[in-house]
């Protein structure tokens, strides 16, 4: 009887039955923490860490705090700078690897090394390399005569944010390149051959064949990596700690300080909800700009 019932189902209904256990488990794992986060953002905690509902007072406090707006602005600068850097460089790397016919597999393996390094380890490596006194970067620049004295990479307010953006992008470029390379490999070569026969140039083939066929990989890359960059804490914590001053202090540090320095978990939860909303806005913007249908 069960087999007869299954045979009467449409392919879509059968597929839904197969994925339903996973969907239920996913909602069970994500649903409770998310609901608890919302409730925490609307509550104040006493000394025994018991929540007491206070409405939107935490949000009012957050939005009236100048430090929140400063950290939010820094987070946007950091995220946008990293996204532009890792996407352009990663796309260029993917296009280059797609054209290389020899040693492509070893090159792909080598290009993955920055992504394989944990962010804390990568940030520590760059902290040593950019050290004012014994860093290899300053040493090389002085040896070739590009600078006459060591550069204050991490203690200069004008340079520190740029360093954070560079290190974040350096870590993310391999993932971007690998995913876009997979998308390039999936494009049928016949499309390029037909376009060449019709007289299409390099730019026209790139615009009308490559980019349209990479919409989905690009949307995945931008959505995932933008959210990861927006909530990154380790790189900033290791390299600058938010300094000099508050010039590189990001929104995640505001959350950390609120929760584990001031023990104001309601404020931390409220900022976390705000960060989540911004992540949704980023994803919606990308999918709308790339005309991705849900």
Closest C-alpha to 221, from 184, 166, 272, 188 = 184
**What are the CA-CA distances from residue 191 to residues 105, 125, 195, 217, 286 (Å)?**
25, 44, 6, 18, 26
User: CB 143: neighbour CB atoms within 10 A?
Assistant: 9
CATH number of 66-289: 1.10.3720.10
Rounded to whole angstroms, the Cα distance separating 81 from 110 reads 25
Quick check: 169 and 221 in contact, CB under 8 A? no
Give the tens place of pLDDT for each residue, 224-273.
999 999 988 999 999 998 888 889 999 999 999 999 888 899 999 999 99
Read off the pLDDT of residues 192-220 as tens digits, 9 standing for 90 and up: 888 888 788 888 888 888 888 898 899 88
All structural domains of the chain with their residue ranges:
66-289
Percent of the chain predicted with pLDDT > 90: 44
| Model confidence, pTM | 0.88
HSE-CB for 245 with a 13 A CA cutoff? 9
CA 125 to chain CA centroid, nearest Å: 20
Do 167 and 238 contact (CB within 8 A), yes or no?
Answer: no
What DSSP string describes 68-80?
HHHHHHHHHHHHH
Tell me 54's DSSP state. -
pLDDT confidence of residue 206: 87
């Amino acid at each position: 009887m069960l087999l007869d019932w299954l045979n009467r189902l449409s392919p879509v209904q059968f597929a839904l039955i197969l994925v339903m256990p996973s969907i239920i488990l996913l909602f069970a794992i994500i649903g409770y923490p998310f609901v608890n986060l919302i409730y925490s953002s609307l509550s104040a905690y006493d000394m025994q860490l018991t929540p007491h509902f206070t409405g939107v007072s935490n949000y009012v406090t957050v939005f009236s705090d100048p430090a929140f707006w400063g950290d939010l602005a820094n987070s946007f600068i950091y995220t946008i700078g990293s996204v532009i850097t890792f996407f352009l460089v990663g796309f260029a790397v993917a296009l280059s690897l797609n054209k290389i016919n020899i040693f492509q597999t070893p090159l792909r393996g080598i290009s993955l090394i920055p992504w394989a390094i944990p962010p804390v380890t990568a940030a520590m490596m760059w902290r040593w390399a950019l050290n004012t006194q014994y860093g290899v970067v300053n040493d090389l620049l002085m040896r070739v005569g590009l600078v006459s004295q060591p550069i204050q990479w991490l203690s200069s307010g004008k340079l520190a944010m740029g360093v954070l953006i560079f290190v974040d992008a350096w870590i993310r470029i391999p993932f971007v390149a690998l995913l876009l390379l997979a998308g390039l490999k999936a494009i049928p070569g016949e499309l390029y051959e037909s376009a060449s026969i019709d007289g299409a140039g390099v730019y026209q083939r790139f615009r009308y064949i490559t980019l349209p066929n990479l919409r989905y990989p690009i949307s995945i890359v931008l959505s995932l990596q933008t959210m990861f960059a927006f909530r990154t804490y380790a790189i900033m914590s290791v390299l600058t700690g938010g300094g000099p001053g508050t010039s590189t202090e990001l929104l995640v540090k505001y959350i950390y300080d609120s929760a584990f320095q001031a023990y104001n978990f309601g404020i931390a939860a409220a900022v976390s909800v705000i960060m989540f909303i911004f992540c949704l806005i980023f994803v919606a913007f990308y999918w709308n700009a790339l005309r991705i249908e849900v």
